[in-house]
Amino acid sequence: MEESLDAKIDALLNVEKHMRLAGDVVGTKKAVVEIVELCYQAGAWKTLNDQIVLIAKRRGQLKQAVTAMVQQAMHYIDQTPDIDTRVELIKTLNNVSAGKIYVEIERARLVKKLAKIKEEQGLIAEAAELMQEIAVETFGAMAKTEKIAFILEQVRFMPRSCGLYVRAQILSRKISPRVFDVNLSKEKKKPKEGDNVVQEPPADIPSLPELKRTYYELMIRYHSHNNDYLEISRCYKAIYEIGSVQENQSQWIPVLRKICWYLVLAPHDPMQASLLNATLEDKNLSEIPQFRLLLKQLVTMEVIQWTSLWNVYKDEYDMEKDMLGGPLVPKAAEDLKLRIIEHNILVVSKYYSRITLKRLSDLLCLSLQETEKHLADMVVSKSLVAKIDRPMGIVSFETTINCNETLNSWASNLEKLLDLVEKTCHQIHKETMVHKAVLKL
């Protein structure tokens, strides 16, 4: 059998040589494909690997022949009898296609397959190293969805290998969030002469909405590592706006809950306030009235009692671990209390220009030391303007006005006064001219 196989391969190699030297592209492609098929049908996997390397190294080998050979051999990867044979075939094809632009897409797919096998074997670091060697964003002939799917796999592997969260962020920036809003069916155009023909993505590549969800789920994992609550909330907001999520109540309710939680956990700033008010206007929030009440309390300038708030929402907080998207970050309960304290301090600063530290501590239900610490932290973060007179025990929320601002305000007031006098004189003269009144000196 082996002699028969070797004889058939030698005969086909002679045919391939004549076709190659004659510059016959179609004949050469047919010959190399037949050699690959012959080895597969005979189950000679080692011979297949040897022939792939031999054909690729032949002098003056045609690009089209190498491409056809690699593509044909890739069909047999899933038909291999065991995992070792599969890995050996993938490595052979990977070595053959390395450095060849005309089979760069095939090489990217091979690397992805090999990385998946390494991941199943528990070799996460090796899989991550394999994936980051490929830069698919430069592949003009690769479909957009396949590029996005490959980059997302790279992002997924980075934190799992050595906790490379910064590397994951760098890779994620290769994907613009605006690409998920593009309608690919309308974007398809008939290629002009000279343009690269974009290949159709494989059947296992997810659709654009599915890739959008995967992208933001990976971004949530990254921002959770940094406890960036506002960005986590924005990611959940993007997932919430996906059409398939909006159509299914069992999917959008857990996501909307997460949006509310992380908005409350985010430090107070203009972006957080804008998203908070926008979420309050969402009609779907009526399905979860407790969270509408929570957001309403945050936008209302009233002091919130932490103990009563926690008693109401503790069960909701514990329930979150069983909801879609998993539990909140580990230190969420501590940060929630901190945000309520900050909200209360901001409320007090709106109603008081000066207040004793003891009275402020009573309003916040904190000790004097804790109140002073939270005040100092907010002043340092520039979310509040305040001064503490420690000997007198008085907190002042009045903003200091420097001499330039005082002079500018005086100049502005004088300008307004002169404008008023000028308008008054003009009206007097107008009335005098209309009625021809004689002024008495």
pTM of the full predicted structure? 0.79
Q: What is the pLDDT of residues 129-162, one digit of tens each?
A: 888 888 888 887 788 888 888 888 888 887 765 6
Q: 364-374 as b/e, with b when 16 or more CB fall inside 10 Å?
A: bebeeeebbeb
Confidence of residue 122 (pLDDT cuts 50, 70, 90): confident
Pairing of strands 354-356, 387-389: unpaired
Angle at 75 between CA 72 and CA 79, to 5 degrees: 135
pLDDT digits (tens, 9 = 90+) for 336-393: 989 999 899 889 888 888 888 889 888 888 888 888 898 888 888 888 888 888 888 8
- Rounded mean pLDDT of the chain? 84
Identify the band that residue 237 occupies on the pLDDT scale cut at 50, 70 and 90: very high
Q: Which two tokens stand for residue 105?
A: 């897409």
Q: Is residue 125 scored above 70 in pLDDT?
A: yes
Average pLDDT on 277-282 reads 89
Region 318-324: mean pLDDT is 81
Q: Tell me, what's the pLDDT at 183?
A: 67
Mind listing the pLDDT tens digit for each residue in 9-50?
888 888 888 888 888 888 888 888 888 888 888 888 888 888
Domain with CATH 1.10.10.10 in the chain: 352-400
Closest to 340 measured CA to CA, from 379, 320, 310: 310
From the candidate CATH numbers 1.10.3720.10, 3.50.50.60, 1.10.10.10, 3.30.800.10, the one assigned to the domain spanning 352-400:
1.10.10.10
